[in-house]
Structure 1
């Protein structure tokens, strides 16, 4: 844990549950800049403040310490857990804290907005905010200077109202907007797209990985997908995104029990809806949380995984490594983990340390597909 000095006092904060990189911290200069600006407004204690995309709860903890009510809106189940962890670690009262997922539409007049990595999520959330923020409302957004582009400002201005930016400080900028409530076009999210080669339709919400197209890693996975004879028992699409790998498994095997798991609320929603529109709504179970935490030891037959290598705005291998470690625990003795990943990430080294046997099923210039065996005994592809 590291100490952050806020306008209302110090906080000890952790990047829970991925706090193993000493170079990273639970807040950024953008958060510091935002709170300094907000504190000068001297809003009375008890004011409800809506906080978006607070990765580890740093802003939320500071506002609770200052006596504000906080509604935190996040698409990340892990961010919500990090918030609760840091609230408890700092002995803050959580009775004025309301955790909302990104499908919820709150109400309020004060919005502090941390720019997300995804432009699509930014667009979706701005459309949501424009539906409730009154003309007298307050909207302050922040991001590191490298995260703010002309397109960012144009999008905010088009969806909310006139916008100005501050000079850079802490390597960050603030964006002040005067809300102008007026009728605006409906959000384009969620949207639907097709994969004719698989005869599948996908429902995609904002910010969910691989929007409207097959990414290279998934394409390689699909070209070398496990045979139907291997799709039996409990099959988990880990880090499911829109649920495509789970959908293909469900389509190719009627005997498999399919689970789609992701830490993104919008991803799990997308997967559930994708199963529904493909007339397979009853085939899947959908879980939002921390990887494989809901599965018992030695209860899963097959795990399909295209792991992320970013968490919020930071690149990290910690999430993938934890997914692999959890996989070892929940797989049955003869279970398998199939992983596709960018070759340069070196996942084969981590997998080789965790599994007695790792085979490279296929690779191209950018991606590799690995088959990891819980057992050291031979098994046919």
Structure 2
């Protein structure tokens, strides 16, 4: 099969010379599926970052392939690449029974987190056909014996294949009986804050250390922001371009209170904490990870602020209206998958600048070694350091 992998793009994800929209693992998974010859309606693809696996199969004539992608960027890239290549024959799903019901072959790009792998393997054993075969693949340098052990909790037979092109496949079959309740989401308590996490959510049910620093610096465990940001936000006029249902999504009605955005919300710790401290504010929590969004929704509900916080599966706040937010809280990532790349943070800085109103405030926490202050000043506005340790820096930027 001669599929034009080189025509695939990562857009709207970060694109750079050292970042591709496919790898050798994609090719190995496609080759295995072609060799098995299973009907497309019985094939599920999970973790297909930009559509390389799904579109190669549909191009080869497999119809009815079901796909789950955690990232909103991946979902948009798949749609865009399918349109560019004139391909169809697949459907997108969340990680649930509709994705896996009756599946006999599951193709999986191994996730970075063992917890995400555990949730995925359990889902396949729980909802797929009794004779399902799960074929997981990854780059050899990122694979571990622990991944086999996790697969072994849900499948009786786990066999690693010979490495090819610096990638390797692991074949899991004979699903084990599943417990009555899935292993995820998990719940943990942190000084009065309840965190709920699905397997693919960053840091799980732990309180990420960077988030913890930002919470402490802003005093979000108290009745107000320690630097008075909430008071300033309340004095600002209403959003000029309001929207749905919190006054920040295009096309809705204005919100009567200040609007705070947790950009890249993860499990929703910042959003829930802000809402608890400021019951009259409206809060938007947005993340490109479906696992994070499901976690944040569960977290806000568990803390009794589900009606105050709107959680959105979105790419860098792209669905939020320009100049609609009073405050943005941000703990940006510095990895893109397994690659260290600051482009993800830059996109979030640009997003914050767009959605903040003039005079609005961006509070950012980041690894001190990254030195983002100059970039924040350039992209957002005047930026001051409000906290610094050898590990983390917290800055406050005012939208010019």
TM-score w.r.t. length of structure 2? 0.86
- 2:302 pairs with 1:277: yes
Partner of 1:60: 54
Which deviations, in whole Å up to 9, do the C-alpha atoms of 1:140-193 show, x marking residues without a partner?
111111222111111112212211111111111111122234244643211111
Tell me the secondary structure at the aligned position of residue 302 of structure 1: strand
* Structure 1 contact 340–368 (Cα < 8 Å) conserved: yes
Superposed displacement of residue 136, structure 1? 2.8
Superposed displacement of residue 103, structure 1? 4.6
Tell me the secondary structure at the aligned position of residue 15 of structure 1: coil
Which deviations, in whole Å up to 9, do the C-alpha atoms of 1:3-35 show, x marking residues without a partner?
xxxx34323101111343111111111112222
Partner of 2:352: 327
For 1:349, which of 356, 374, 379 is the aligned residue?
A: 374
- 2:41 pairs with 1:20: no
- 2:213 pairs with 1:220: yes
Mean Cα deviation higher: 335-344 or 207-216? 207-216
Partner of 1:88: 83
1: CA distance, partners of 2:274 / 2:125: 40
Tell me the secondary structure at the aligned position of residue 39 of structure 1: helix
Partner of 2:387: 362
- 2:124 pairs with 1:129: yes
Which deviations, in whole Å up to 9, do the C-alpha atoms of 1:37-82 show, x marking residues without a partner?
33223345x4431000001111011011011131101222221111
- 2:185 pairs with 1:195: no
- 2:224 pairs with 1:229: no
Deviant stretches of 4+, over 3 Å: 183-186
Tell me the secondary structure at the aligned position of residue 136 of structure 2: strand
Partner of 1:175: 170
Tell me the secondary structure at the aligned position of residue 101 of structure 1: coil
Cα RMSD after superposing both structures: 1.8
Gaps of 5+ in 2: 219-224, 235-257
1: CA distance, partners of 2:269 / 2:131: 43
Which deviations, in whole Å up to 9, do the C-alpha atoms of 1:77-112 show, x marking residues without a partner?
2211111111111111x2x21111235542111111
Question: Alpha carbons of 1:42 and 1:272: their partners in 2 closer, same or farther (altered >3 Å)?
Answer: closer
Superposed displacement of residue 312, structure 1? 2.9
- 2:287 pairs with 1:262: yes
Which deviations, in whole Å up to 9, do the C-alpha atoms of 1:114-135 show, x marking residues without a partner?
1011111100010000012334
2: CA distance, partners of 1:201 / 1:184: 24
Which deviations, in whole Å up to 9, do the C-alpha atoms of 1:217-243 show, x marking residues without a partner?
112111111334245411001111111
Question: Alpha carbons of 1:317 and 1:255: their partners in 2 closer, same or farther (altered >3 Å)?
Answer: same
* Structure 2 contact 113–200 (Cα < 8 Å) conserved: yes
* Structure 2 contact 72–315 (Cα < 8 Å) conserved: yes
TM-score w.r.t. length of structure 1? 0.90
Superposed displacement of residue 345, structure 1? 2.5
Question: Alpha carbons of 1:52 and 1:204: their partners in 2 closer, same or farther (altered >3 Å)?
Answer: same
Partner of 2:269: 244
Partner of 1:71: 66
Superposed displacement of residue 252, structure 1? 1.6
2: CA distance, partners of 1:366 / 1:48: 48
Question: Alpha carbons of 1:303 and 1:121: their partners in 2 closer, same or farther (altered >3 Å)?
Answer: same
Question: Alpha carbons of 1:363 and 1:185: their partners in 2 closer, same or farther (altered >3 Å)?
Answer: farther
Partner of 2:241: none
Gaps of 5+ in 1: 1-6, 376-381
